[in-house]
């Protein structure tokens, strides 16, 4: 397939979690995806050898490893040295899911699981753990030829995140995004054109009502789903209702009862959901290990970049002085649902309260209750009818935070009640903590500088909350009257569960659906071929391989890939499964340039953390500290499984 050279600014890094490859170092576009660097892990040496041979035939660069531990250290040593990992599920030294978890979180590489066990439960488990694909042995060449799509998708999604974070601040980024989009287009055009990037119109301000969208039929004949706030809310509700462990796409679909929505749409959305939860958990885990109050506090006030989001917060915070360590502890405690004496925020609270109380009418009444977190809970219970029991608090949090930040009145308006403000403040604190942490030290998760996660001044939420968020925040002008409900939200009873609820309320008062309303899943962008070009390592032709070796079939396959990919994406490809998230931008599949889309998808770790947080709470996890201590082996399931 012939493709033009990507017109990307030199030096532009296509972030791909792990990859630090520059576009120009990538495999020559016309040889894409040759040169894809694959790491195969399997204790069965026979399979390993066969896979190696097959992958080499696909012109991939293969590294084989028969021990999971060795594979992990290899990945750690050679950061950015691999594009995708294929791993067996059953291995003696480490469970494949564990490896999957590690890789996903530490290196953020796409991981493909494989096993001789092709039972639905096994496959489901793989998906739940965040595998981007699950191959059943015997693995065929055709399947291996397709794995590059996972790499592309992931890199593009993450790249969008990065773009989002900076695009609004820097026109240069926008240009690059455009360039990448063009590249992507050319890449797509290079195939049979069946999967052009979905250049949907992206309007950050646009709120999608979850209607199924089927533009750009060229890319896919299937209707694309745009996961709007409302739709995602429904999704979350369904998941909550079913319980995370039992939330299978089919049941979720039934509960959601959205005409036109397919099980595939839900499945892919769920996958993203799980991915983010995992990330969130890991984030939280790492977060708990970072206890430098000063580091958290210091930057807060000096962070002028916080922008609209942070304005009010800064004022409040400035008024109160540095965030006391107790606050962090309290926040942690809250998150952990551990009873903590220090839950009540000190000085800061007062100031915040004062400011808050000055404001608007539309507030969610908070109970005056002791612990900030608990008060939030109460608040929740009061407004339970208004707030759907969305488990995905991260979203609400992010949205809420955004709303919070962007709307000054909102902040105050939010809290008639001191506690409420406290809660809001808590959320802000968390967000800012995360932000600070991010700024101070790269997330352990995202150690790679190019990682998509990017703490942007705007949103409290998380690294990936980029400029886009900011824009969205500003978008949500209705935040004036919006009520940020930041705090803890537990659908059922609020006794111990704490979840962050952020809600961006539009002009309507106390939009009940609040919580998750704002943004949909921080999942990734559905479209397979969104802008940013994927960077693979420098491509090297396999020495000695017959040039036409697998080309013919490969070529054919390429042609069919898009469809296949689309089909497999279950609503991701070209389907706006990307949640507008903070940006209130629902348009996911949009064009390559769509910053939003990226931002949507990338809640990145912070959001994931939130997500996990909420989920944990929602599920009323048994122990006091479900999240951190329990960092489950099994990814998402682990979160809930106490």
> Contact positions toward other proteins, by CB under 8 A?
43-47, 49-50, 53-54, 57, 88, 90, 92, 115-117, 137-141, 542-546, 549
Q: Which two tokens stand for residue 63?
A: 């590294």
Q: How many helices (H) and strands (E) does the chain have?
A: 24, 9
**CB of 88 or CB of 369, closer to other proteins:** 88
Residue 469 to residues 152, 166, 333, 580: CA-CA distances in angstroms?
24, 10, 28, 10
**For other proteins, the closer CB: 47 or 204:** 47
Reduce the DSSP state of residue 108 to 3 states and report it.
Answer: coil
Give the nearer residue to other proteins in terms of CB position, either 146 or 340: 146
- Please, what is the minimum distance in Å from the beta carbon of residue 151 to other proteins? 23
In whole angstroms, the minimum distance from the beta carbon of 87 to other proteins comes to 13
Give the three-class secondary structure for 16: strand
Closest CA to 530 of 601, 580, 464, 590: 590
Close Cβ partners of 453 (under 8 Å, ≥ 6 residues apart): 161, 438, 443, 445, 446, 462, 463, 464, 602, 604, 605, 606
Shortest Å, Cβ 38 to other proteins:
16
Whole-number minimum distance, CB 50 to other proteins, in Å?
Answer: 5
CB of 140 to other proteins, least distance (A): 7
Cα separation, 452 vs 16, whole angstroms: 7
Is the CB of 541 or the CB of 622 nearer to other proteins? 541
Q: Which is nearer to other proteins, 9 or 141 (CB)?
A: 141
In whole angstroms, what is the distance from residue 507 CA to residue 16 CA? 38
Q: How far apart are CA 17 and CA 310, in angstroms?
A: 27
Distance in Å, CB of 463 to other proteins, minimum:
39
| CA-wise closest residue to 466 among 601, 342, 284 | 601
Rounded distance between C-alpha atoms, residue 229 and residue 516, angstroms = 7
Task: For the CB of residue 484, give the shortest distance to other proteins in the complex, in Å.
Answer: 52
Cβ proximity to other proteins: between 45 and 304 the closer is 45
Alpha-carbon torsion (435, 440, 444, 445), positive or negative: positive
- Distance, CA of 642 to CA of 631 (rounded, Å): 10
User: How far, in Å, CA of 247 to CA of 496, rounded?
Assistant: 23
The HSE-up count of residue 507 (CA atoms within 13 Å, CB side) is: 3
Question: Exposed (0-12), middle (13-18) or buried (19+): which is 304, by Cβ within 10 Å?
Answer: exposed
Taking the complex as a whole, the smallest distance from the CB of residue 44 to other proteins amounts, in Å, to: 5
Q: Between vectors from CA 130 to CA 126 and to CA 135, what angle results, nearest 5°?
A: 40
Q: Where are the beta strands (DSSP E) in 191-292?
A: 212-213, 224-225
Least distance from other proteins to the Cβ atom of residue 47, Å: 5
The Cα 430–Cα 444 span in angstroms is: 17
Q: What's the min distance (Å) between Cβ of 612 and other proteins?
A: 31
- Name the residue nearer to other proteins (CB basis): 139 or 316: 139
C-beta of 116 vs 298, nearer to other proteins:
116
The nearest distance, CB 216 to other proteins, in angstroms, is: 36
Q: Using the minimum distance from each CB to other proteins, give the nearer residue, 25 or 44.
A: 44
Pairing of strands 61-65, 37-41: parallel
Instruction: Give 17's contacts (C-beta < 8 A, 6+ positions apart).
Output: 107, 108, 109, 154, 155, 158, 446, 448, 451, 452
Closer residue to other proteins (CB): 52 or 620: 52
* Shortest Å, Cβ 537 to other proteins: 21
CA dist 181 → 40, 419, 528, 592 (Å):
31, 46, 12, 4
Looking at the Cβ atoms of 5 and 140, the one nearer to other proteins is 140
Kindly report whether the peptide bond that precedes residue 244 is cis, defined as omega within 30 degrees of 0: no
Taking the complex as a whole, how short is the minimal distance between the CB of residue 133 and other proteins, in angstroms? Answer: 17
Q: Which of residues 142 and 211 has its CB atom nearest to other proteins in the complex?
A: 142
Q: With respect to other proteins, which residue has the nearer C-beta, 88 or 216?
A: 88
């Amino acid at each position: 397939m012939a493709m033009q050279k990507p017109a990307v600014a030199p030096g532009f890094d296509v972030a791909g979690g792990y990859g630090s490859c520059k576009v120009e170092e990538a495999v020559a576009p016309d040889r894409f995806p040759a040169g894809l660097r694959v790491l195969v892990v399997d204790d069965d040496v026979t399979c390993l050898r066969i896979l190696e041979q097959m992958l080499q035939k696909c012109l991939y660069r293969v590294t084989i490893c028969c021990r999971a531990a060795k594979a992990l250290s290899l990945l750690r040593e050679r950061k950015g040295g691999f594009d995708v990992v294929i791993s067996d599920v059953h291995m003696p030294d480490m469970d494949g899911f564990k490896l999957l978890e590690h890789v996903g979180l530490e290196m953020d590489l796409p991981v493909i699981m494989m096993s001789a066990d092709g039972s639905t439960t096994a496959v489901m488990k793989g998906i739940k753990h965040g595998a981007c694909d699950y191959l059943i042995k015997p693995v065929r060449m055709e399947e291996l030829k397709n794995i590059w799509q996972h790499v592309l998708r992931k890199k593009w999604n993450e790249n969008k995140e990065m773009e989002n974070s900076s695009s609004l601040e820097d026109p240069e980024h926008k240009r690059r995004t455009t360039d990448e989009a063009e590249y992507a287009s050319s890449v797509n055009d290079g195939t049979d054109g069946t999967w052009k990037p979905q250049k949907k119109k992206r309007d950050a301000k646009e709120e999608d009502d979850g209607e199924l969208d089927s533009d750009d039929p060229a890319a896919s004949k299937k209707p694309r789903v745009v996961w709007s706030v409302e739709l995602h809310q429904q999704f979350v509700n369904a998941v909550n209702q079913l319980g995370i462990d039992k939330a299978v796409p089919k049941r979720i679909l039934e509960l959601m009862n959205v005409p036109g929505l397919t099980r595939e749409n839900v499945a892919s959305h769920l996958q993203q959901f799980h991915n983010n939860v995992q990330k969130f958990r890991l984030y939280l885990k790492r977060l708990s290990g970072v206890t430098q109050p000063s580091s958290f506090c210091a930057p807060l006030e000096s962070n002028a970049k916080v922008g609209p989001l942070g304005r009010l917060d800064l004022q409040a915070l400035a008024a109160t002085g540095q965030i006391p360590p107790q606050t962090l502890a309290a926040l942690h405690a809250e998150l952990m649902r551990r009873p903590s004496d220090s839950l009540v925020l000190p000085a800061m609270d007062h100031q915040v309260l004062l400011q808050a109380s000055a404001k608007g009418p539309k507030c969610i009444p908070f109970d005056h209750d002791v612990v900030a977190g608990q008060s939030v809970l109460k608040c929740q219970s009061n407004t339970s009818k208004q707030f759907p029991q969305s488990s995905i608090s991260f979203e609400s949090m992010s949205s809420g935070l955004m709303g919070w930040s962007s709307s000054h009145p909102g902040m105050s308006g939010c809290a008639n009640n001191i506690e409420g403000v406290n809660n809001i403040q808590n959320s802000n604190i968390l967000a800012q903590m995360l932000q600070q942490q991010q700024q101070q030290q790269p997330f352990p998760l995202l150690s790679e500088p190019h990682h998509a996660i990017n703490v942007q001044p705007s949103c409290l939420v998380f690294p990936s909350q980029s400029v886009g968020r900011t824009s969205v925040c500003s978008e949500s002008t209705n935040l004036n009257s919006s009520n940020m409900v930041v705090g803890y939200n537990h659908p059922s009873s609020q006794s111990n569960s704490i979840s962050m609820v952020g809600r961006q309320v539009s002009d309507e008062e106390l939009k009940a659906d609040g919580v998750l309303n704002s943004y949909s899943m921080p999942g990734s962008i559905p479209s397979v071929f969104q802008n940013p070009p994927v960077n693979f390592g420098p491509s090297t032709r396999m020495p000695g391989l017959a040039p036409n070796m697998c080309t013919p079939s490969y070529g054919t396959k390429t042609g069919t890939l898009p469809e296949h990919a689309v089909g497999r994406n279950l609503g991701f490809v070209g389907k706006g499964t990307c949640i507008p998230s903070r940006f209130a931008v629902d348009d996911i599949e949009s064009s390559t340039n769509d910053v939003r889309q990226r931002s949507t998808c990338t809640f990145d770790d912070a959001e994931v953390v939130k997500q996990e947080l909420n989920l944990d709470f929602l599920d009323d996890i048994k122990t006091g500290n479900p999240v951190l201590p329990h960092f489950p082996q099994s990814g998402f399931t682990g979160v809930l499984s106490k």
